[in-house]
Amino acid sequence: MGRSSLDGEDATPESGYMIRQMSEAVAAIRPDDTLAVPLGPGVPGGFLHALGERDDFTRLEVFGALLPDLYQLFMRNGVHYRSGFFGPAERFLRDAGASVDFVPADFRRFEPVLHHLNPRVVATSAAPPVDGWVSLSVHAGAFVDELHRAGADPNRLLVVEVSPHFPRTFGLGKHEHRLHVDEIDVLLETDRQPLNLADAPPTSAEVAIAEHAMAYIHSGCTLQTGIGGIPSQVAKMIAEGPLGDFGVHSEMFTTGLMHLHQAGKVTNHKGGAFDGYSITTFAAGVPELYTWLHENDAVRFLPVRYVNSPELISQNRQMVTINGALAVDLAGQVVADTITGKQFSGIGGHEDFVSGPGLSADGRSLICLPSSSTVNGELVTRIVPKLPSGSVVSTPRHQVDVIITEWGAAELAGRTIRERAIALANIGHPDMRDDLLAVAENWPQD
């Protein structure tokens, strides 16, 4: 097992000793310390809630992303949270005055960033041990190597929170997606449920966007989808329609992708490095998804550096990726994680899954967004002539293939800058389209 310094440099657990009590685990965190937790579904929620009962921190630095819940810990004095991906919890904490900062990095770069930060305490959720092994369940992400490093280092602490509600899942080949109990310093048993992330019903605009997206999807494609009304509607249309023989290579495994499996639409004849399996790096959805994933050989969890590698993505047969955006300008620059420069979400795998299909002759990447939003009662275009001052580009124009709104699809790859601008203006909201076209048709050529 890993030996860890609990109260000082000379304090280590005796041989064969493992902390199993929550109170001991909480006490093992120093007032001045560093702690890392995985993205969203991998967060050890019981442990973080218990840590929030302490109020004696002087400088606790916590590294994580996309918190699945609100934790009192992050409202405590002396606690600073560095997040690689904002969600509703991060936005709430920031607006409530908590010490929360965004760390710009895509999902693959979480690994080297985490290695550089070298947190003393590393904590994750997992499924209960079987035959001495703990499955990492619904999250591999950027964390697998760091978990093993922490477990092997006598000066670091590896905390694993297990619950019978977390499914036992598998890796592939040398990527075992598990820890041996001898590596673990703190093994906590809770009754915590995995993140219940239900898809909201799609809006009429999202249904129209999904219908346009279906024109790019045909039998034999390999698919990547995320969460939200558009990808869930696409999954529903595929599950209920005549198409089949799909592969799955997706950063996130969703309820919609489960439905494709259940409908017999997935064969995973992808022709790439992971032929025969649905590949993912984390999963989130409704409770049925976690029950279905339990000991399911068809879905394999790999570290994010493989799942999000553009080169590996491009090897899949007829790869089609579906991602969202907050705004797109007439040059084709995509803003996907900020609103007027204020952090809203994160970079994640956006650029990887936009660029990956473009490295192959038959891949397509679809960026989907409604053409407008209503802000303070006013209709605002999301296809903009140029990005306002302070905007932060998530994905550059040269990576972009297809932009889809409820009014149609704009194919940008291979087009000149003026042709791209006109194509984008033509899928803008009708109330703003004439103004967009006036700008696009006078777009400079140099």
Residues labelled catalytic: 251
**Cα(437)–Cα(423) distance, integer angstroms:** 9
**Cα(397)–Cα(253) distance, integer angstroms:** 27
At 408, is the secondary structure helix, strand, or coil?
Answer: strand
**Cα(183)–Cα(37) distance, integer angstroms:** 17
Q: Is 439 exposed, middle or buried (0-12, 13-18, 19+ CB in 10 A)?
A: middle
CB of 308 closer than 8 Å to CB of 349: yes
At 72, is the secondary structure helix, strand, or coil?
Answer: helix
**Cα(226)–Cα(216) distance, integer angstroms:** 17
| 317 contacts: CB under 8 Å, gap ≥ 6 | 220, 221, 222, 247, 269, 270, 271, 272, 362
At 305, is the secondary structure helix, strand, or coil?
Answer: helix
Degrees, nearest 5: CA angle 350-430-389? 50
At 153, is the secondary structure helix, strand, or coil?
Answer: coil
Instruction: List helix spans (H) across 69-143.
Output: 88-95, 110-117
